[in-house]
Amino acid sequence: MSEKSSINLDKNKNLETTYFAFGCFWGKEFLMQNTKGVVATRVGYTGGLTDFPSYIEVCSKKTGHAETVEVIYDQEVVSFSDLVEIFFRNHNTNSSKRQGENNSGNYRSAIFYTTQKQKQEAERIIELLKNKGHKVLTQVAPIGPFFEADERHQNYCKRTGNVPKEKNYLIQEI
């Protein structure tokens, strides 16, 4: 498991961390990085059984990990609810184990919370969406060990200029 981001969360009480798994982490990291109030991101793996998995191992679908974006955000600028809305607007929640053509568990839809408040808010929004008739198979679970992906996967879109196209999948309003 890698060390925490260089941002000192203890020093700035307005900062909070959460984790989103919603497809290939390259484009999703770019999306979160470009959200006002997000101060740092990292990509990695969580939710599985293998310690220190490699990208190849995670893609083999045998580790149980999901490709995940760690998001550190300033709660005075962007709320957890706002981030959850971005999460739901930018992936297909109709399948618990796939995004697009990829049907592996590493692309599953999941919110890995760090506080009970995040858990309650994620569950509240999911219930709201279900009551509006949306099929939501998103997993909500406490964050376990987060294993940072290797350097070539960090900031991939910014480094390569390979900017993902914006997509609004299922949710238009929450």
Please identify every residue annotated as catalytic.
24
* Separation of alpha carbons 140 and 20, rounded Å: 10
Strand 38-46: give its sheet, edge to edge.
139-142, 109-113, 15-22, 66-74, 38-46, 147-148
Cβ(155)–Cβ(31) under 8 Å? no
With beta carbons less than 8 A apart as the criterion, state whether 99 and 23 touch.
yes
